[in-house]
Structure 1
């Protein structure tokens, strides 16, 4: 209810106005039907042809839509998994919109990409799957978060309670008295009629409709339409309503056996209510604490604690931590990397992505060959008496090692100064090492070995500085000499940290050459 569909509408409009076709993929028939209606309403004043592919459409309508997609007369097609079938051929596909992306498998999503190599893909979800979230955080995919709720929108009040008839009656009657509607979620088709009879006895004043995926298409369509038009005020349903159903008048949802749902599912189901300015309520009913698993309890606690507007993204971060990131090139959408740790894996991936963005070939044999090694021959660390807590020390070491520009490094240094005060000698040496590491990386210097009487510079086979700068240095300074094609020795006496760093910076500054003036 934050406006993801609005983003899709505008992206589709841009694509169609530029002469491209748009495919909108939805996980359920009900959502495809709803999107088709929304798109038709919004594009009514424009020369845009919209087709729908789902089981609600007849065979004749489906055949006509497929022919239109192939000939190019259909501009926007909205459909369920039917869009992925081999029969569908697009004339000029430009944009694929995947709604509720967490409901699809990797192969299904990649099948759409394979239709055309240069197709743009826009995925919409309140709760991204661990693999997608990890790919976004690693820079393989761009992502943006809609964090601002629509005006007057209130957070949904969430209660986890033991199931009882009194609670159900009280929750439903409160909603009906204010003219609203209620979803009652019962996710077992075999026993849904028994539940219907119990609700009829418990709530004689309610008009109850039933909706589940095993109903005939026409019946399901009719029930959903009647509920939307308020002929029913209680809808007894399965998770078929989970994704994207938009009914602003329904503001209470009651979930039977909420402990059986996943975290993303709970968030999606809760998101079916609270889509207007009225206060919405979600009741997650369980058989009691003793009858549910520890993991289920964790999920229910998380969903109850994260009830702020827009909390789906943070729930997904929890999910990523609990389940792991999955494979970028494989089919698994969650799970851990076994051979390398997650941080190392992310770093390798980041290096490869950055190389590709610069148009360079990633070095797969030596992914960390570009990291410069600095040895100042003196202690370079955060002493125990300066940062007493082991966790804080490790965190700061990690942050320092992860910095890839001077600005980020200065931020970390400021943070250390603020929290712990004046830097001791060993900490100053550590900071100097990281500053030099960044300078050397930009110049293509592989290693610096700085002892008290001499400093040795080892260059990479393809350094990033002008060779004439090096020749100029060797001609003007008698304390420098080459010890092979990639090794240079500087004879200098440097007893303390400052003099040693100063000597190194004299050379690195000369290799970098004069700075180019900034363009206004």
Structure 2
């Protein structure tokens, strides 16, 4: 066995040198060692994780003058993942990795999201409008807002029609929806919506805690609300696009491509980027390289890596000779960002400064002077940055964290900034995917939905104030070397609480922090906690705003019933930022356990402990703050009036229309085909044809060549018999059978997808999905998909109704029935499947 030797003696990796010049000298010496190995006959492999790192390795090799002679051996370069380099002397083999080349250790993260909660996270920002529970408010597209009462299978009834045939109805599953009534004495009317029309119903999501009034069936209020929302949406889309257009017309600064230092800086990120994070970084850098000012919004759950996107954009701006301002809502967060930026850029000659109330006047003045002179490259600060006395020599990029937390005046100033420089806005307020899609083209947005690989969901426990549980929780965290947040949101009684905790855990080092302290004292408190000098931070909600302390993984929230859901979610997101299991304890007083509102909020929080579930949380509280923040508060009323999903659909259409793009207008096609049973229980066998009476001998039979083709191949043009005898072919099933898809919710989702198809590609994808998930398709499902195809063919030709009655084909276009030479086209095939083929060919021929 060959001995494997570490490269630590040649390239020690541990604490990076504080002085960039020393770090550079160490690297240069290591490269010379690689060159010596090559000249002594060793094979040297350079293994890097990305193309950019390999490119930087080449640049350094050339920069150090090691590639001058062509006849000299060169290192073998390759992409790969090796944690550390090694030397096998007997085999004369040296393997070096990006760790030795760039002088840092990388925390390896598998590229694929293996854990179930991580892969589930991607869907957390999808609002599931089909996820209905009994009692939920729903929106019916034609009738308005109602209350969902559950599913019901209608009883099967048989009645005789005028023509003497028996017609079977019922047996179908329906969603039962209760609507409003003008007379409180009357029982509210109910609407039975067949599952096959479930696409007309979606969950109602508003913007506040108020319950919406139920619509009255046949009343005018719903159509008026829809019309008002449509008008408001058109105005909003016009405003958004006007801002977009004026920015397109403005000439900004176009930054150059990535520099060698940029590649090296990005290579020094100690983790592997998640897919969403990588695309957000690329989008921001591409925006900066365009001549128009950037205005990009990056949304992502707490701790999903938005800051790294900002850091790379800032580095690019500085490399392009411009200054960067990082604007944050609170002083504590400013300190944290300042530390992060300084730490990441320590190896590069970049000057990072802080401007907040934690700084003395002398320090602040020096920073302001440095900004005006151009000696300060990046400044992190609170609203002090927007004051009149702050002047920049060459401002190129403004990064705004949690813009919605700034006041109106500050926001106006930020609006002015947007027209002149590149702006990157970060927010942890989740943006629903539906809204994101609706705003595509009107607002540049990136969403980061994937959690870092090794992150675990937070374990949430609801308790009454129990000293034993609290002591055990604190002790368990301290035993594993962690820290504890204890949240008590009453400044008047915070010291009393501090005494109680000190008695519970006498050995723990406790410190108190709240917003009424002098700024210097508060800074010291937070700094000591961040540096790990104390074990427990007892504070008010000052810790809500983005403070990142990976070592604090237990949070205890006193009187959790006094907080709103989104606030609780943000607070709880302060723990679990690292790979340790995090715990959150929500303390309720005894009587609060009975308050239904508080209980609902807290059960929602426990239910959505999954990562990235911020939006589902906001949805449960019906507070789409993300929507309000982006669209402005005046739109909230319209979202409340028509529900969120319909609002987003209207917005999407308006944006497309104003941009001059083709709006795929959905033409609703009604289908009434008498040989198909679209619901269970409507099937009927074909009646046997009566024997024809014997014909008289003297009748002359004229052979007709046309009739011979009647039962030929489906693809030939149907023969239209001038006076045919109607043939009964029965009614065959064309729906999703219970035994093929037993789960009702899955059936509703598929019916919705069928109704929302807009082109034949979507239909092909849906077919493949059904086959993949549920196995080979039975005949009823195939027919249902063929009916969907008929609708897709009819819509672009303005055919609004497809009806068959006996052998007659009745298509309605632009309000009138289509006839050939004054007569209805006729069906000639004897089988339902053959007849579907005829309808398809006729629609194609229109």
Length-normalised TM-score, structure 2: 0.48
Q: 2:592 touches 2:598 (CA, 8 Å); kept in 1? A: no
Whether the aligned pair in 2 keeps the contact of 1:134 and 1:325 (CA below 8 Å) is no
Matched, 1:283 2:283: no
Does the CA contact (< 8 Å) of 1:52 and 1:78 recur in 2? Answer: yes
Aligned to 1:171: 473
1:383 to 654, 662, 679: 679
Q: Which range is displaced more, 323-332 or 21-30?
A: 323-332
Q: Please tell me whether the aligned partners of residues 211 and 223 of structure 1 are also in contact (alpha carbons under 8 angstroms).
A: yes
Of 129, 141, 145, which residue of structure 1 is paired with 2:448? 145
Aligned with residue 216 of structure 1, among 510, 518, 524: 518
Counterpart Cα distance in 1 of 2:486 and 2:510: 10
Are the structure 2 counterparts of residues 396 and 227 from structure 1 closer, same or farther at C-alpha, using a change threshold of 3 Å?
closer
Could you tell me which residue of structure 2 aligns to residue 423 of structure 1? 780
CA 1:15/1:505 → structure 2, altered by over 3 Å: closer, same or farther? farther
Change (3 A) 1:490 1:104: farther
Tell me which residue corresponds to 1:499. Answer: 838
Aligned to 1:400: 754
Is the Cα contact below 8 Å between 1:373 and 1:447 reproduced in 2?
no
SS at 1:44 equivalent: coil
Instruction: Classify 1:424/1:312 alpha carbon distance in 2 versus 1 (closer, same or farther; 3 Å).
Output: closer
Could you say if the C-alpha distance between residues 392 and 168 of structure 1 is closer, same or farther in structure 2, counting changes exceeding 3 Å? closer
Q: Per-residue displacement from partner, 1:312-369 (whole Å, max 9, x unpaired)? A: 344344445788954864325866625534333222211223345xx4179xxxx88x
**Count of residues paired in the alignment:** 466
Report the Cα distance in structure 2 between the residues aligned to 1:148 and 1:179, rounded to whole angstroms.
24
Closer, same or farther: CA 332–201 of 1 in aligned 2, 3 Å: farther
What is the rounded CA distance, in whole Å, between the counterparts of 1:493 and 1:224 in structure 2? 81
Structure 1 354/3 Cα, relative in aligned 2: closer, same or farther at 3 Å?
Answer: same
Aligned pair 1:184/2:486, yes or no?
yes
SS at match of 1:224: helix
| Equivalent position of 2:597 in the other structure | 295
Question: Is the Cα contact below 8 Å between 1:106 and 1:332 reproduced in 2?
Answer: no
Q: Residues 73, 265 of structure 1: CA spacing in aligned structure 2 closer, same or farther, 3 A cutoff?
A: same
SS of the aligned residue for 1:278 comes to coil
Q: 1: CA distance between counterparts of 2:782 and 2:499?
A: 78
What is the CA–CA distance in structure 2 between the aligned matches of 1:125 and 1:446, rounded to whole Å? 44
Partner of 1:50: 352
Aligned pair in 2 of structure 1 residues 345, 156: CA closer, same or farther (>3 Å)?
closer
C-alpha separation between the residues in 2 aligned to 1:275 and 1:403?
41
> Is the CA contact 2:593–2:599 (under 8 Å) kept in the aligned structure 1?
no
Matches of 1:16 and 1:361, distance apart in 2: 38
Displacement of 1:29 = 0.6
Residue matched to 1:136: 436
Alignment of 1:39-438 (within 5 A): 39-63=341-365, 65-66=367-368, 74-84=376-386, 94-100=396-402, 103-104=405-406, 111-117=413-419, 121-128=423-430, 135-140=435-440, 141=443, 142-151=445-454, 153-288=455-590, 290=592, 293-320=595-622, 325-326=627-628, 329-331=631-633, 337-355=639-657, 359-360=659-660, 370-372=665-667, 374=669, 378=673, 382-385=678-681, 386=735, 395-413=749-767, 418=774, 421-423=778-780, 427=784, 430-437=787-794
Aligned match of 1:36 in 320, 338, 344?
Answer: 338
Is the contact between residue 456 and residue 489 of structure 1 (CA under 8 Å) also seen in structure 2?
Answer: no
Q: Distance in 2 between matches of 1:107 and 1:133?
A: 30
**RMSD (Å), alpha carbons:** 4.1
Question: Distance between the aligned counterparts of 2:521 and 2:370, measured in 1?
Answer: 28
1:149 Cα shift? 2.3
- Structure 1 residues 400 and 450: alpha-carbon distance in aligned structure 2, compared to 1, 3 A threshold: closer
Structure 2 unaligned blocks of 5 or more = 1-302, 682-734, 739-743, 828-834
Q: Contact conserved, 2:763 with 2:789, CA < 8 A, in 1?
A: no
Distance 1:11 1:403, change over 3 A: farther
Q: Secondary structure at the match of 1:196?
A: helix
Structure 2 Cα separation of the partners of residues 174 and 343 of structure 1: 45
The separation in 2 between residues aligned to 1:333 and 1:107, in whole angstroms, is: 20
What's the secondary structure of 2:338's corresponding residue?
helix
Q: Which runs of 5+ in 1 are unaligned?
A: 459-482, 508-520
CA shift for structure 1 position 213: 1.0
SS at match of 1:236: strand
SS of residue matched to 1:135:
helix
User: 1:337 is paired with a residue of what secondary structure?
Assistant: helix
CA distance 1:259–1:454, shift in 2 (3 Å): closer
Whether the 8 Å CA contact 2:544–2:571 is kept in 1: the answer is: yes
How big is the shift at 1:266? Answer: 2.1
SS in 2 for 1:143: strand
Q: Deviations over 1:149-207 (max 9, x none)?
A: 243x4433221111122222222223233333222111111111222222233332222
Deviation, 1:10, is 1.7
Superposed CA deviations along residues 393-434 of structure 1, whole A, max 9, x for unmatched, are 765554333233322233445567759832389846641343
Deviation at 1:55, TM superposition (A): 1.4
* More divergent stretch after superposition (218-227 vs 101-110): 101-110
Report Cα offsets for 1:436-495 as digits up to 9, x if no partner.
156x2xxxx44467785787866xxxxxxxxxxxxxxxxxxxxxxxx9xxx998658342
- Alpha carbons of structure 1 residues 137 and 382: separation in structure 2 relative to 1, 3 Å: farther
Cα separation, 1, equivalents of 2:794 and 2:633: 38
Q: Which one is further off, 399-408 or 378-387? A: 378-387
Q: Does structure 2 conserve the Cα–Cα contact (< 8 Å) formed by 1:182 and 1:235?
A: yes
Taking a change above 3 Å as real, the CA distance of residues 107 and 343 of structure 1, as seen in their structure-2 partners, is: farther
Change (3 A) 1:448 1:57: same
Instruction: Indicate the residue corresponding to 2:39 in structure 1.
Output: none
| Larger proportion of helix | 1
- 1:191-234 Cα deviation digits (max 9, x unpaired): 11222222233332222211111111111111122223333222
* CA shift in 2, pair 1:349/1:119, >3 Å: farther
Q: Which residue of 1 aligns with 2:309?
A: 7
8 A contact 2:561–2:592 mirrored in 1: no
* SS of residue in 1 equivalent to 2:517: coil
Matched residues in 2 for 1:490 and 1:342: separation? 45
Cα distance change on mapping 1:232 and 1:338 into 2, 3 Å? closer
Provide Cα deviations, 1:81-133, integer angstroms capped at 9, x if missing partner.
334556666666554433345645788657524422375554434442x6x76
Distance 2:783 2:433 in 1: 39
Give the 3 Å change call, closer, same or farther, for CA 423–185 of structure 1 in structure 2: same
Aligned mates of 1:290, 1:334 — CA distance in 2: 30
Contact 1:185 / 1:236 at 8 angstroms: preserved in 2?
yes
**CA distance in 1 between partners of 2:407 and 2:634 (Å):** 9
Is the 1:55–1:217 Cα contact (8 Å) retained in structure 2? yes
> Quick check: 1:456–1:490 contact (8 Å CA) kept in 2?
no
What is the distance in 2 between the residues matched to 1:254 and 1:391?
38
8 Å contact 2:486–2:557 — kept in the other structure?
Answer: yes
**Equivalent in the alignment of 1:468:** none
SS in 1 for 2:642: coil
